């Protein structure tokens, strides 16, 4: 394993993040603050508790997941698409490094950026609501796994996309709706039985449920099922990336 190559790609991507710190960090924090004002104050004043937790605190895990998933996907997709766009990806492919090292560099940087944003949003949440984290270690595990898995998804999107519009297609039209419909602002037990069953086909439900369990000790689905779901999602993404580099799909074509 060429750790020097991984570190070089990682540092290059992280420097881009800090060069655009206003767009990369301030924007998600401001957006999350608006969610707290609208949902936590306006709607939360009409809803006392959800599963024994104040509504303002209840939505914190969902808000963090919303930002983390979209940011990890967007950062990873742009990170690998830009070298394709300007043609420098051929220099990367001709370098004495394998695909695992390329993926580790780009995905590691994208996951770090998303993790950083998630932690900042969590700190921001303490200024709005009273939060107690029941399982802090499990919270960090779920947060890191989510960052890595959606960064892998973003890497796949960046390889698939052939224009800048497609980079935003999946995060805006797929991931964001799935998060909103995956129990980020409500418990799925509040839905009618038929819709509860339908919602269980949404893979994001298992991520949000497991992450919320780490905060409050309550979950819509079993914690073991949530861990299995995120492990399966990560494995599928890795398999797709392996196939992409093995066949050269959208890279050498």
In eight-state DSSP terms, residue 46 is: T
- pLDDT 10s per residue in the chain (253 long)? 788 889 999 999 998 888 777 767 777 778 877 877 777 666 666 677 777 788 888 889 999 999 899 999 999 999 999 888 888 888 887 888 888 899 999 999 999 999 999 998 899 888 888 888 999 999 999 999 999 999 999 999 999 998 888 888 888 888 989 988 988 888 898 889 999 999 989 999 999 999 999 999 988 899 999 999 999 999 999 999 999 988 888 886 5
Residues 63, 72, 156, 230, CA torsion sign: negative
Q: What is the pLDDT of residue 163?
A: 86
The token pair at 195 is: 């819709």
Q: What is the pLDDT of residue 29?
A: 77
Q: What is the pLDDT of residue 55?
A: 84
The token pair at 245 is: 């580099």
Q: What is the pLDDT of residue 253?
A: 56
Q: What is the pLDDT of residue 157?
A: 95
The token pair at 79 is: 């990170």
Size of the chain in residues: 253
Residues 215, 73, 119, 228, CA torsion sign: positive
- Rounded Cα–Cα distance for residues 80 and 57 (Å): 36
All residues at 6 or more sequence positions from 67 whose CB lies less than 8 Å from its CB, including other chains: 28, 31, 32, 114, 117, 118, 121
- Rounded Cα–Cα distance for residues 246 and 253 (Å): 13
Q: What is the pLDDT of residue 53?
A: 86
Q: What is the pLDDT of residue 45?
A: 62
Q: For residue 94, count CB atoms less than 10 angstroms from its CB and return exposed for 0-12, middle for 13-18, buried for 19 or more.
A: exposed
Element at 54 (helix H, strand E): strand 53-54
Burial per residue of 211-229, b for 16 or more beta-carbon CB atoms within 10 angstroms, e otherwise: bbbbbbebbbbebeebbeb
Map out the domains of the chain as residue ranges. Answer: 3-247
**Reduced to 3 states, what is the DSSP secondary structure of residue 53?**
strand
């Amino acid at each position: 394993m060429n750790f020097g190559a991984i570190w070089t790609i990682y540092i290059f991507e992280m420097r881009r993040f800090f060069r655009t710190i206003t767009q990369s960090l301030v924007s998600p924090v401001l957006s999350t603050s608006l969610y707290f004002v609208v949902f936590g104050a306006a709607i939360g004043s009409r809803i006392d508790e959800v599963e024994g937790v104040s509504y303002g605190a209840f939505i914190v895990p969902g808000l963090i997941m919303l930002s983390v998933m979209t940011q990890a996907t967007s950062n990873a997709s742009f990170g690998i698409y830009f070298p394709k766009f300007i043609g420098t990806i051929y220099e990367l492919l001709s370098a004495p490094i394998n695909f695992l090292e390329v993926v580790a560099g780009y995905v590691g940087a994208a996951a770090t950026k998303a993790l950083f944003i998630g932690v900042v949003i969590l700190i921001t949440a303490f200024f709005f609501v009273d939060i107690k984290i029941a399982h802090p270690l499990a919270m960090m595990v779920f947060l890191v796994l989510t960052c890595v898995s959606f960064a892998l998804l973003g890497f796949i999107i960046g390889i698939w996309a052939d224009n800048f519009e497609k980079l935003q297609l999946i995060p805006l039209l797929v991931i964001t709706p799935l998060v909103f419909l995956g129990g980020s602002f409500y418990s799925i037990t509040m839905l009618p039985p038929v819709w509860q069953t339908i919602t269980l086909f949404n893979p994001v439900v298992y991520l949000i449920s497991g992450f919320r369990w780490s905060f409050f000790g309550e979950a819509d689905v079993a914690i073991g099922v949530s861990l299995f779901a995120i492990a399966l999602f990560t494995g599928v993404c890795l398999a797709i990336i392996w196939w992409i580099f093995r066949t050269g799909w959208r890279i050498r074509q």
